[in-house]
Amino acid sequence: MRFSAGEYVCLEGDKANTLYIVKSGMLVGSSKVNEDAPLQNFGPGSIIGEFSLLESEPRELTLRAAEETEIQVIDQDMLQAALEQHPGWFKSILTFLAARNRIAQKNKQKNDLIQALPSLLYIFSAHLQETGADSIPLTLLHKKILALNNTSADETNHLLDSLESLGLLKTVGNHDSEKQVKVESLQIIPLLYDTLRYRALNQKVSPNILSMTEQMVLTTFVKIARENNVPLQNGLCTITTDQLKAEAKKSMHGLTLTSRTIAPLIDKGLLKPSTSFDIHAPLESISFFFADFDRILDLLELNRIFPLLDKNLV
């Protein structure tokens, strides 16, 4: 069959009772369901609709000829006749490949979302820094991430829903043109972006990601400060070593607090000793430790949500 430039071959949602092989020219595929998705081009040799035909699924794309185009049309009866000329297991293999293709598509969609997350966080961080505001219009966010990462509005909304479920932001407003995406935690968004960026650039885990032991020590530090109403001086909170050791025995599930246990937190600058620190010296040689209280809270929140990110993006 031949189609002139601009002619439609099929419409999205049509029953898929044929597959197409492009012999010459170019077909362009588009979707109204996902209007922000980039157009797909199918040149000579492209096969379109084979999996939908095997699985009796409706057309996923509207196909239009971009130029004078010739295609080979194979209907279901022709395909069935061709399959009957081959061993019985041939159709099973094709069906299996169709199922595998669906799985691959879903995995690609998930990977696309994971890769789009840093771009979304970057847009938030830059907007917050530039404007000093705690929110961004949803329409502006859609426009920015489409330009930056070619991420569709539907994919962006899925990311926003995932981040909202983690308590990081909230979409407010009744109509799309009026909706604002409000950041609930102004410090966590930039911190999460820096953490993902560090991993991407260095191919290793960011120092912001704490071990379970480090998290337990810092959680104990916070617990003591809150229960004893420890005052802050220039944002710094001071806890004595005796307090830290006593509380650790009760809340750290039997883990003994030693100089070696606490050394990684000192190396990261999260806990600062009152005197010079020696990993081989008894912990009691340090009278007290002090730390940036808000920084600790932010890191503990980051480490709570970080393992949930991939799960929430599925």
β-bridge partners, 3: 69
Element (H, E) at 30: strand 27-30
Residue type at position 30: S
The model carries a pTM of: 0.64
71: number of Cβ within 10 Å: 24
User: Per CATH, which fold does 2-85 belong to?
Assistant: Jelly Rolls (2.60.120)
Q: Which CATH class is domain 104-206?
A: mainly alpha
Domains 2-85 and 104-206 fall in the same CATH topology: no
* CATH code of the region 212-304: 1.10.10
> Could you report the per-residue pLDDT of 154-174, keeping only the tens digit for each?
888 889 998 998 888 899 988
Digit-coded pLDDT (tens) for 224-275: 999 989 888 888 999 999 999 989 888 877 678 899 999 999 999 999 999 9
Q: What is the C-alpha separation between 90 and 95, in angstroms, rounded? A: 9
Q: Delimit the domains of the chain by residue range.
A: 2-85, 104-206, 212-304
- What are the b/e assignments for 252-265, b being 16+ CB within 10 Å? beeeebebebbebb
Q: Which runs of E-coded beta strand occur in 31-86?
A: 40-42, 47-48, 62-65, 69-75
pLDDT tens, position by position, for the chain (314 residues)?
A: 999 999 999 999 888 878 888 888 999 998 887 666 667 888 887 878 876 666 677 888 899 999 999 998 887 777 667 666 665 555 665 666 566 666 666 777 777 777 888 889 999 888 888 888 889 999 999 999 988 888 888 888 889 998 998 888 899 988 877 899 998 877 898 899 999 888 888 888 899 999 999 999 999 999 999 998 988 888 899 999 999 998 988 887 767 889 999 999 999 999 999 999 999 999 999 999 999 999 999 999 999 999 888 677 65
Three-state secondary structure string covering 224-257: HHHHCCCCEECCEEEEEHHHHHHHHHHHCCCCCC
